[in-house]
Amino acid sequence: MNREKRTLIFQRLQSDNPAPRSELDYSTPFELLIAVILSAQATDKGVNKATARLFPVANTPEAFLALGEAGLKEQIKTIGLFNSKAKNIIQTCRILNTKFNNKVPQNRDDLESLPGVGRKTANVILNTAFGQPTMAVDTHVFRVANRTRIAPGKTVLEVEKRLLRLVPSEFLMDAHHWLILHGRYTCIARKPRCGSCIIEELCEYNKKVYSDT
């Protein structure tokens, strides 16, 4: 796929949704961090239901530490893997409290040093909370990047690096939101809704010949 076609794709995605945002509910970088940790193997809808109960009770590292692991488990027990997530979150809050003055760090190395935070989560925080042009590649982004041929790759890291290199710079800040939403609602896993897709004729899905430039 050439640069011109990629530009047209993102122009259409931008025109359709000029100000994309995460579907997780949050009001601070810390709340976003907690929500993203909770979202692993869970739906955003399920996480939002849990955090609607949780955040009025605790929404700072200090408040989470006061709540404790057992109290946190009670608040998030509707979410899958809540035992391990509660343990990681309390450990993360302890580190934020002792090492980072209760602030969410704004660099990848420090973020990835927190329990429960991997590369994808760090990228979400850097982009969504702090406005850095990173690319968080989840299953939706991975599928859309490969299926459309915007930035095909065999691994999540390969797709991330190709997207960062190939997405036109003027769209990079919002690109991962557009791709997530497109994969979640249009380019779905089992049967993509090509007939209602705004980039259908630009997509190279099922084409026999690709030109990856």
Angle at 97 between CA 93 and CA 103, to 5 degrees: 90
Whether the domain at 3-20+134-196 and the domain at 29-129 fall into the same CATH topology: no
With tokens 């940790």, the residue in question is 37
pLDDT in tens, 139-190: 999 999 999 999 999 999 999 999 999 999 999 999 999 999 999 999 999 9
CA-CA-CA-CA dihedral for 134, 139, 141, 142, to nearest 10: 100
Cα-atom radius of gyration of the chain, to the nearest Å?
18
Per-residue pLDDT band at 206 (split at 50, 70, 90): low
Give CATH for domain 29-129.
1.10.340.30
Known catalytic residues? Answer: 120, 138
pLDDT in tens, 40-96: 989 999 999 999 999 999 999 999 999 999 999 999 999 999 999 999 999 999 999
**Residue 211 pLDDT greater than 60, yes or no:** no
Q: Let me know if 213 is exposed, middle or buried by CB neighbors in 10 A (0-12, 13-18, 19+).
A: exposed
The overall average pLDDT reported for the chain is 94
* Amino acid sitting at position 142: F
pLDDT in tens, 100-140: 999 999 999 999 999 999 999 999 999 999 999 999 999 99
Q: Would you say 91 and 34 are in contact if contact means Cβ atoms under 8 Å apart?
A: no
Q: Which of 14, 35, 34, 13 is nearest to 23 (CA)?
A: 35
Q: Spell out where 74-190 has E strands.
A: none
Per CATH, domain 3-20+134-196 is 1.10.1670.10: yes
| pLDDT for the residue numbered 205 | 87
- Sketch the domain layout of the chain as residue ranges: 3-20+134-196, 29-129
